[in-house]
């Protein structure tokens, strides 16, 4: 992060000739300044106090990863290729999973058939016992209760198999395939066929060229919120921006993987022709518009407050001033100077 203003130059103290034994309120007349001394004009301009960051205008780019561990089985696109939302980008090798799914499907079908067979057999036995001793007999009720418990146990087992199969289908059909999150271009591809990948490892990214944002050094959301005004300048044009907080998940994942943290700002009303441009991002804590201003290194501090030296003809005159907003580079003048006057600055 870079500060907007450079550090102020050391104050250059000019000698003050004071008449002995006299109380005077008039400005003090001093010897002419040397020709090499620097002069600056008192002028009206905007003064800003805050932070400026360099930034890049980029398309909205979404990094994509798998939600499961695996091995890359197929890469469906090439870097820079135009894609539509939902197009497959990378697939994991699911051969072993598919074999396991086939076995699990057979096991589930067998369990369902056995449940049907056992249910029919129990119903026949119940009818036989009821004919012998009646439906309300203890023997018949005991048999019914036992068969009901067995039926519930079979249903529980079938439920487990069904959930396992559903989860396996989810992994094979959804989690093992990364699809484009938007219309755009493939902006990154970090793996090859056969590579092992871990859950949440970024393997590709899609750039949405229909919108753009600023990417700059990372800053906390609280820092942005404390700024009174946040905007960007691209190509000499000012644009309003909107801070896009990084999710906790992304923040933790980047930290753990050692990837660089960054902050993003949506560029309001910025067209896609700005993509690739250099930008300056301004976070202003204070600002004054079209106020009298002098370079801050023209100010000198004395016992009675701030003063400057003003050029009048070939003479330099000490002039006390009242100041407002001060930055390392500029100072707002509230009184004591007029627009167009020339003041001496530290050389």
Model confidence over 299-310: pLDDT tens digits?
A: 999 888 999 999
Cβ contact 8:301 at 8 Å:
no
Which range among 6-10, 90-94, 235-239, 329-333 shows the weakest confidence by mean pLDDT?
6-10
The domain segmentation of the chain, as residue ranges, is: 100-175
First to last CA, the chain: 29
Residue 3, pLDDT score = 34
CA distance 143 to 135: 10
Summary mean pLDDT of the chain: 83
- The phi, psi pair for 95, rounded to 5°, reads -55, -50
Using N-to-C axis directions, what is the helix angle for 138-170 and 95-133, rounded to 10°?
A: 170
Residue 37, pLDDT score = 64
Single out the residue of 299, 327, 306 nearest to residue 42, CA to CA.
299
Residue 35, pLDDT score = 35
pTM score, whole prediction: 0.49
Task: Give CA angle at 90 (84, 95), nearest 5°.
Answer: 135
Helix H or strand E encompassing 40: strand 38-41
Residue 82, pLDDT score = 93
Residue 26, pLDDT score = 46
What is the mean predicted confidence (pLDDT) over 89-110?
93
- Provide the pLDDT confidence category of residue 140 given band limits of 50, 70 and 90: confident
């Amino acid at each position: 992060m870079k500060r907007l203003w450079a550090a102020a130059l050391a104050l250059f103290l000019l000698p003050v000739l004071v008449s002995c034994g006299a109380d005077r309120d008039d400005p003090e007349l001093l010897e002419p300044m040397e020709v090499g001394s620097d002069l600056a004009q008192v002028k009206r301009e905007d003064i800003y106090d805050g932070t400026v960051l360099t930034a890049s205008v980029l398309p909205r780019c979404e990094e994509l990863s798998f939600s499961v561990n695996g091995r890359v089985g197929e890469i469906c696109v090439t870097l820079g290729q135009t894609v539509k939302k939902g197009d497959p980008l990378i697939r994991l090798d699911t051969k072993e999973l598919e074999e396991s799914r086939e076995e699990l499907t057979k096991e589930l079908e067998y369990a369902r058939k056995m449940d049907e067979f056992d249910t029919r057999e129990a119903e026949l036995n119940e009818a036989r016992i009821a004919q012998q001793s009646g439906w309300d007999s203890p023997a018949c009720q005991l048999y019914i209760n036992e068969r009901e418990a067995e039926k519930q146990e079979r249903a529980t087992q079938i439920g487990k198999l069904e959930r396992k199969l559903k989860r396996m289908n989810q992994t094979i059909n959804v989690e093992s395939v990364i699809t484009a999150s938007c219309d755009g271009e493939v902006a990154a591809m970090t793996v090859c066929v056969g590579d092992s990948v871990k859950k949440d490892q970024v393997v590709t990214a899609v750039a949405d060229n229909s919108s753009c944002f600023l990417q700059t050094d990372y800053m906390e959301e609280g820092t942005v919120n404390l700024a009174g005004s946040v905007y960007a300048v691209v190509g000499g044009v000012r644009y309003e921006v909107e801070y896009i907080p990084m999710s906790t998940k992304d923040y933790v994942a980047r930290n753990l993987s050692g990837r660089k943290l960054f902050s993003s700002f949506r560029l309001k009303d910025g067209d896609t022709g700005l993509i690739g441009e250099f930008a300056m991002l301004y976070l202003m804590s204070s600002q004054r518009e079209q106020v009298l201003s002098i370079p801050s290194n023209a100010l000198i501090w004395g016992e009675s407050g701030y003063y400057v030296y003003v050029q009048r003809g070939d003479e330099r005159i000490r002039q006390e001033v009242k100041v407002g907003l001060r930055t390392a580079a500029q100072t707002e003048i509230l009184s004591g100077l007029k627009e167009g006057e020339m003041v001496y600055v530290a050389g």
